[in-house]
């Protein structure tokens, strides 16, 4: 029996799993019941696992003989979103929702566990199943990597994201940059407050903040190559509390997105220079707090070739498409910092089923017919890698 025939048996199972997780969403680092449920399912299947963090575990399927080790990863956390679409599997927790598809990811990996466990006497090597918490806050991958020695034993990684911008039944597995680095910055400006009618007696933090927002854009337009995507966005400014009082302080927060590891090495210093020099021009002071949340997610060429070969078997050549990289962030990138691997996109868009809403939208949903194909792709990638290594 091949993977596609085996996967068909678990179509209803994967959909049922997805609906369970969707009805019972848990936020990042709070996935206690989700992890408990996954553990019980793995016990039913007969797959051993280690609970390496409070809300994360790694399961192991050993083949018939020794060989390489490949890891398959899915994330499990939900979002602070109140669900609006009325579906039978609607979230039962007000203010929390699987609005990004991580419920589908968890179900897909459980489906892959079923398929691979059925076929463990047909391959050599080891498959690790990584059920990861806290992707939305970019904490889960690093926490699992630091727990135990499993990461050091893995030779290759595969992960995927369901994608509402890609038609259901289509997949994208191309090499190169796929998702952006996601950095966060906070700027604190210190000036001198005073009466709105006497600006000469003040050091206006609002003016400094306004200039800073504009000056930061010159980094994008004049300091970095136009051939390398770079986004610097100030998402919030807080300053002042009365119409006739000139503010003496301001706080700005924003994000930086890019795909180049070279940009990662210089962007903080560039932003710091603009922040400090802009403040000094207005006789104020400013400090910068800069956090590297996720690195760029870059698919290794050989691993993408493996994924393409696997997708040919599970989805067919007509359903393998090229999808433009996205400036969204993904902490799967941490796994690929030191190990080769591939991150795929699995299409779930179907306008007739109202599954074409953007990720993180309160009406987000997926075409569940695409789920079992995702399980098959995970399993096929693992077997393709192990058979060639």
Which structure tokens are listed for 371?
Answer: 């789920």
The residues, ordered by sequence, that sit 6+ positions from 151 with a Cβ below 8 Å of its Cβ are 144, 145, 335, 339
CA 388 distance to own-chain centroid: 28
Tally of residues, the chain: 389
Q: What is the pLDDT of residue 2?
A: 87
Q: Rounded to whole angstroms, how far apart are CA atoms 102 and 141?
A: 14
CB 342, CB 158: distance < 8 Å: yes
What residues form the annotated binding site? 100, 102, 136, 161, 360
DSSP helix/strand/coil, 183: strand
Where do we find the tokens 């918490």? 133
Helix, strand, coil tally for the chain in percent (to 5): 40, 30, 35
Instruction: Give the Cβ contact number of residue 212 at 10 Å.
Output: 23
Q: Which residues of the chain have pLDDT under 50?
A: none
| Strand-pair partners of 313 | none
- Domains, the chain, ordered by start: 3-177+296-388 (3.40.630.10), 181-294 (3.30.70.360)
What's phi and psi for 307, nearest 5 deg?
A: -65, -35
Q: What is the pLDDT of residue 240?
A: 97
Q: What is the pLDDT of residue 1?
A: 66
DSSP helix/strand/coil, 329: coil
Instruction: Give the Cβ contact number of residue 318 at 10 Å.
Output: 8
DSSP helix/strand/coil, 36: helix
DSSP helix/strand/coil, 274: helix
If residue 3 lies in a helix (H) or strand (E), which one and from where to where?
helix 3-8
**Threshold 0.85, pTM exceeds:** yes
CB 83, CB 181: distance < 8 Å: no
The residues, ordered by sequence, that sit 6+ positions from 272 with a Cβ below 8 Å of its Cβ are 288, 290
Q: Rounded to whole angstroms, how far apart are CA atoms 117 and 120?
A: 5
If residue 72 lies in a helix (H) or strand (E), which one and from where to where?
strand 65-75
Which structure tokens are listed for 20?
Answer: 């369970």
CA 126 distance to own-chain centroid: 25
Q: Rounded to whole angstroms, how far apart are CA atoms 14 and 368?
A: 9
* Closest to 264 (Cα-Cα) out of 289, 286, 288, 290: 290
User: How is 102-139 classified by DSSP, letter by letter?
Assistant: HHHHHHHHHHHHHHHHHTGGG-EEEEEEEEE--TTTT-
Q: What is the pLDDT of residue 289?
A: 98
Which structure tokens are listed for 71?
Answer: 């890891």
Which structure tokens are listed for 233?
Answer: 């966005």
* Closest to 158 (Cα-Cα) out of 314, 350, 318: 314
What residues form the annotated binding site for Mn(2+)? 100, 102, 136, 161, 360
Which structure tokens are listed for 317?
Answer: 């050549």
């Amino acid at each position: 029996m091949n993977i596609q025939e085996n996967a068909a048996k678990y179509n209803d199972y994967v959909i049922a799993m997805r609906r369970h997780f969707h009805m019972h969403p848990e936020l990042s680092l709070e996935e206690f019941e989700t992890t408990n449920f996954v553990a019980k399912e793995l016990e039913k299947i007969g797959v051993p696992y280690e609970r390496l963090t409070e809300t994360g575990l790694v399961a192991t399927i050993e083949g018939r003989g020794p060989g390489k080790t490949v890891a398959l990863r899915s994330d499990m956390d939900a979002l602070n979103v109140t669900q609006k679409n009325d579906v039978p599997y609607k979230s039962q927790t007000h203010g929390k929702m699987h609005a990004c598809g991580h419920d589908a990811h968890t179900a897909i990996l459980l489906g892959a566990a079923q398929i691979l466990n059925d076929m463990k006497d047909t391959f050599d090597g080891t498959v690790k199943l990584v059920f990861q918490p806290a992707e939305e806050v970019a904490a889960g991958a690093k926490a699992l990597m630091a727990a135990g020695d499993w990461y050091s034993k893995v030779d290759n990684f595969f992960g995927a994201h369901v994608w509402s911008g890609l038609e259901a039944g289509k997949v994208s597995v191309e090499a190169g940059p796929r998702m952006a680095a996601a950095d966060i910055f906070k700027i604190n400006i210190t000036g001198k407050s005073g009466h709105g009618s006497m600006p000469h007696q003040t050091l206006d933090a609002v003016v400094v903040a306004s200039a800073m927002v504009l000056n930061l854009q010159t980094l994008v337009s004049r300091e970095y190559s136009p051939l390398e995507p770079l986004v610097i966005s100030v998402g919030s400014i807080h300053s002042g509390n009365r119409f006739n009082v000139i503010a003496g302080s301001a706080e700005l927060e924003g994000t930086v997105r890019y795909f180049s590891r070279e940009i990662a090495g210089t962007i903080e210093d560039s932003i710091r220079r603009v922040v400090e020099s802009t403040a000094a021009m207005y006789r104020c002071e400013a400090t910068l707090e800069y956090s590297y949340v996720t690195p760029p997610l870059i698919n290794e060429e050989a691993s993408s070739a493996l994924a393409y070969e696997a997708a040919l078997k599970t989805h067919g050549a007509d359903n393998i498409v090229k999808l433009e990289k996205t400036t969204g962030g993904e902490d799967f990138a941490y796994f690929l910092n030191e190990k080769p691997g591939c991150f795929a996109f699995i299409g779930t868009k179907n306008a007739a089923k109202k599954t074409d809403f953007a990720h993180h939208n309160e009406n987000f949903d997926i075409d569940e017919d695409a789920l079992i194909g995702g399980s098959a792709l995970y399993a096929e990638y693992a077997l393709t890698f192990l058979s060639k290594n």
